[in-house]
Amino acid sequence: MSVLPFIVLILASFCIGETMVIGEPTRAKLGITQQSSTTDICSDCSQIIELFTDMISNTDTQELIHNTLDALCLRLPGDEAKSHCISRVQMYLPQAIQYLTGILKPGETCMVLGLCAVRSERRAPEQLPPTFTDIDLSNAVLDSGTSPEVQVSPQCTFCVYLMKKLESMLPMERTEDAVVKLMGEVCGLLPASYKDQCDDFINKYGKEIVDFLLSSAAPHSICVMLHL
């Protein structure tokens, strides 16, 4: 048996009942509108692929996929069929996830799909304002795998830093109350010169941040979906 059927099942497992990884409505959270231009479609495609790759790389998401596929196996008639299905999930699921995370490159994938006509050249990140030197943002820069269509801005860099700070403070059991509580505390942990900026950021994007953190989205993906 090949890995391909499990790749299809992984994609399907994202859309089964209450096991959806991204809460509905998906289009609203992605900010995709009917008026999107061709350029916007390319950007939206890249953002979706990046988010999907980040999410299937997350251990919580992988466990959710595994449990969903096991539940599907248990719907098969006969104990032998159920056992065979579960054993195949155990054997091939890690390979399928590794394969997906290895081949899904946002820019290339969207060009293959015909949604990005030409690969644009990577632009150098904008220089951060001098005031940012007070904060260690070295770990907040985007990974080398960031799609060429997504450009770095000071606001995005600050967002990634803040999301990583929140993620590092979250308990293993993520609940809405825990996320909301931490969001009320995190700005007080930054240098005083950034507290107002942090407060404004939390006030503006608070609801969306809660939803994304509860869905285990990666820090960079959260900021991409906030269009920063």
Render pLDDT for 42-71 as a digit per residue (tens, 0 to 9): 888 888 888 888 888 888 888 888 888 888
Q: Please compute the mean of the pLDDT values over residues 70-90 and round it to a whole number.
A: 90
Render pLDDT for 130-179 as a digit per residue (tens, 0 to 9): 444 444 454 444 443 444 444 456 777 788 888 888 888 888 778 888 88
Render pLDDT for 179-212 as a digit per residue (tens, 0 to 9): 888 888 888 888 888 888 888 988 998 888 888 8
Decide if pLDDT at 10 tops 70: no
Q: Which residue in 224, 59, 60, 226 sits closest to 143, CA to CA? A: 224
Tokens of 54: 């980040």
Q: Please compute the mean of the pLDDT values over residues 117-127 and round it to a whole number.
A: 44
CATH 3.40.1190.20 fits 122-228, yes or no: no
Superfamily of chain region 1-119: Saposin-like (1.10.225.10)
CATH 1.10.225.10 intervals, the chain: 1-119, 122-228
CA distance 228 to 221: 10
pLDDT at residue 109, rounded to an integer: 74
